[in-house]
Structure 1
Amino acid sequence: MTSLDALATPALLVDRARLDRNVASMASAMRGAGVALRPHFKTSKCLEVARRQLDQGAIGFTCSTPAEVRLLQDEGVGDLLWAHQPVGPAKVAFAIGALRRGGLTLGLDSVEVAAPLASGGVPVPFLLEVDTGLGRTGVDPDRAVETATRIASLPGFALRGVMTHEGHLGTYGDRTALEEAGTRAGELLASVAAKLRAAGLDCPIVSVGSTPGATSAPFAEGVTEARPGTYVYYDSGQVRLGSATPDRCAQTVLTRVVSTQRRGTAIVDAGIKAMSSDGLAGGSLGTVCDVAGRPLEDVLFANGNEEHGYLTGEGTARLRPGDLLRVIPNHACGTTNMWSRLHVVEDGRVVDRWPIRARH
């Protein structure tokens, strides 16, 4: 075991007890709702975390990138959803090869995206992506039947169901309003699935996906699958949305104060290259905590350069160079992608190191 004081900073930490609690809690909630759990792998990009999720009953994983798909296929995970449009020759070629290996479903929202995949001569199971309010990818609900019918008519294509990402829930400041919107998203997706079935299309999977919506959208009648990701670690963004409390946040960045030359400001050695690339979400780069992980209410992570972080607030007056702090990032998924390994912490000591893979 290694003390935190012995680590070179900045360093990415994951509290194992909090991680295990988060994984077990989400799995239990989805089992209780009779909903399959297909977590998003992009949050951890870590096989040790993925194995914990599988052990708790996850049916497979949702992937963002070809690297994530490849890594999990190589590990023998047999039920993957690639929830990103495979556009362009390189991604089309990869998708065809990955489909040939088996166990992969694609998320599609148009014939234009789907048609190039038909050249591979392989079966193409797909979920129709439906926009339930985010306004990103996904077909409008009133065009779902037409679009699904056209894609399913392509050689080798088989509709498995519908999917959505209710990411727009992150814009709600009130938890009650957020959960009501999550329920509406789940109900809307289930209604689209019903219309597809009425049109003679098979639609067994109705898949929603987000951590903010995990307490609402999966519980809408007709939803069969949930794809949360951030829940394994949680983060400051999820705390702001009411999805978790700080004591559920398993991922932190360990950092040291390196300068206190200016009154009201302390400089740490964790900058934007150590934190989430989402930047100043919620007015800071993350929640500053003491080395035990307790939030410091009077210290704000106000800004950052590449290798320096700017802390402000009355609490900076008691900080000195060499002091250890931990920061709960704004967005766990973005922070993960900045690192090649994490330090596993128990009772304030490092007990293991896990590699982070499939990074951009």
Structure 2
Amino acid sequence: MMTLSARHLEKGNPITGPSLLEDVSLPAAVIFDAELANNIAWMQRFADGHGAQLAPHGKTTMTPALFRRQLDAGAWGVTLATATQCAVAFEHGATRLLMANQLVGAPNMAIVAGLIERGADYCCVVDSVANVEALDRFFGARDLTLNVLIELGVPGGRCGVRDESALAALVDAIAAAPAVALCGIEGYEGLIGGEHAVDRVRAYARQLVATLRRLMDAGAFADRKPIVTAAGSQWFDLIAEAFDQAELREHCTPVLRPGCYVVHDHRSYRDALAEVKARHPELEGNLQPALAVFAHVQSLPEPGLAVVAMGKRDISCDPDLPIPLQRHRPGEPAHPLRHCTVRKVMDQHTMLVIPEDADLRIGDIVSFGASHPCLTFDKWRQVLRVDDGLRVLETMPTFF
């Protein structure tokens, strides 16, 4: 939790806009306001430009204040992964909820049923007859209709039907389930990799569209404009290519659902965006890293080593160790930390390798970036939105 210093609480210092460097107990997770606004606008423009709706994946941040910013900027809805996440989003004003996961277990079904009864526009994904039958029994007993999307999987991936016979059986099971309504096709391409990943992602996107059209021709969908949805934060441009068809937009609702773009990152998605820009040099602007963790140097026990009061409980170490960004001192310009690397991260300590002549002192503040922001957000009960001068503009609670 953010704790203000005694200096900030003195008479004459307003309770708003504390200084991150002087008035906040560190470590703290920080989101830069200008970069955040840039990222939200950039991805919304991208979706709009491809005739697609945007349903950002909320599991990345589980920060309702960010959901609201994304919705206010034009997002169609919010994607979530679990029933409890959907409940959080709904309680904070998100009414269109796309759960890109199977809904399994009576307690989870009960949460969703309560949301639907309160007006949520909800859908989840299915990939098995057994799940459809269980959903039909539960929601039928509540006199409710559950909207579902069929998930198409990939070999070696996670969930989703793998072949035409499983797909046909699932379509038949939904048609025989009065409490379950088929509203579209869903996929996730993020686990496709390897030497020919681009070609394989494009083929998978075409498969999603072809399956949608085939089922539309067969009259399988309950909705007049069924949904077709995919796209994480790595291959969103390739999915958008397949969805960007006038005929598709006229008769369907294409939905992209990246999540990590909202704060981007300093390595994994930075590199992925460079590949997107290489494929599409016409794209203007960039996503910008907006998330960092600030922490104090607490020990300089030997030459070439600084110990920082930040650990695995504060920042992601997967898929990369934290990236040192800048040294901060109150009243001085930030100083880039060149030739510094993280050697090891423990529960509450980070071992930072530094040049022997580095100008680093006990009490200095170091900012760190990370790869894959999901695994940093979930370590915090709140994140701080700051301006370019590192004044705190807003404390944003998270709900993990």
Indicate whether the TM-score tops 0.5.
Answer: yes
Alignment-derived partner of residue 296 in structure 2: 256
For structure 2, the 5+ residue unaligned runs are 1-16, 277-284, 329-333
**Contact map agreement 2:61 2:374 (CA 8 A) in 1:** yes
Higher helix share: 1
How far does residue 329 in structure 1 lie from its aligned partner after superposition? 1.7
The residue that corresponds to 1:128 in the other structure is 150
Could you list the structure 1 runs, at least 4 aligned residues long, displaced by more than 6 angstroms after superposition.
244-247, 292-295
Alpha-carbon offset, residue 230 of structure 1: 0.4
Residue 290 of structure 1 corresponds to: 326
From 247, 251, 254, the equivalent of 1:224 is 254
SS in 1 for 2:362: coil
SS in 2 for 1:168: coil
Q: Which moved more, 1:259-268 or 1:244-253?
A: 244-253
Equivalence for 1:349:
390
| Conservation of the 8 A alpha-carbon contact between 2:29 and 2:292 | yes
Which of the numbers 84, 89, 105 marks the counterpart of 2:123?
A: 105
- Give, in whole Å, the separation in 2 of the partners of 1:350 and 1:111: 54
1:326 aligns with 2:367: yes
- 1:48 pairs with one of 47, 52, 65: 65
Q: Which aligned pairs between 1:150-189 and structure 2 lie closer than 5 A?
A: 150-169=173-192, 171=193, 179-189=198-208
- Number of corresponding residues: 351
One-letter code of the match for 1:261? P
- TM-score by length of structure 2 reads 0.80
Aligned partners of 2:356, 2:170: CA distance in 1, in Å? 56
Query: Residues 127 and 155 from structure 1, CA distance in 2 versus in 1: closer, same or farther, beyond 3 angstroms?
Result: same
Amino acid aligned to 1:274: D
- Kindly report the root-mean-square deviation, in angstroms, between the aligned alpha carbons of the 2 structures: 2.6
Q: Report deviation, 1:304.
A: 1.2
1:309 to 323, 336, 350: 350
1:269 aligns with 2:305: no
The structural deviation recorded for 1:3 is 2.3
Q: Give runs of aligned pairs for residues 127-146 of structure 1, distance below 5 A.
A: 127-132=149-154, 135-142=157-164, 143-146=166-169
Give 1:145 shift. 3.2
Per the normalisation by structure 1, the TM-score is 0.88
Shift of 1:132: 3.8
Unaligned segments of structure 1, at least 5 residues: none
Q: Are positions 1:281 and 2:319 aligned together?
A: yes
The alpha-carbon distance between structure 1 residues 328 and 164, as it changes in their structure 2 partners (threshold 3 A), is: same
- Residue 89 of structure 2 corresponds to 72
Alpha-carbon distance, 1:178 to partner: 5.2
Q: Residues 313, 186 of structure 1: CA spacing in aligned structure 2 closer, same or farther, 3 A cutoff?
A: farther
Judging changes above 3 Å, is the alpha-carbon distance between structure 1 residues 294 and 96 closer, same or farther for their aligned structure 2 residues? farther
1:143-185 CA-to-partner distances (Å, cap 9, x unmatched) read 323323323421211111011121125x46x8xx654444333
Q: C-alpha distance in 2, partners of 1:341/1:178?
A: 36
Amino acid at match of 1:309: T
Distance 2:148 2:217 in 1: 19
Say which one has the larger Rg: 2
Counterparts of 2:111 and 2:239 in 1: how far apart (Å)?
32
Checking the alignment, whether the CA contact within 8 Å between 2:381 and 2:399 is kept in structure 1 is no
Cα gap change, 1:250 to 1:18, in 2 (>3 Å) = same
Deviations 1:96-126 (A, max 9, x none): 3223333111122112223222223210101
**Percent of residue pairs identical:** 27
1:201 to 203, 211, 220: 220
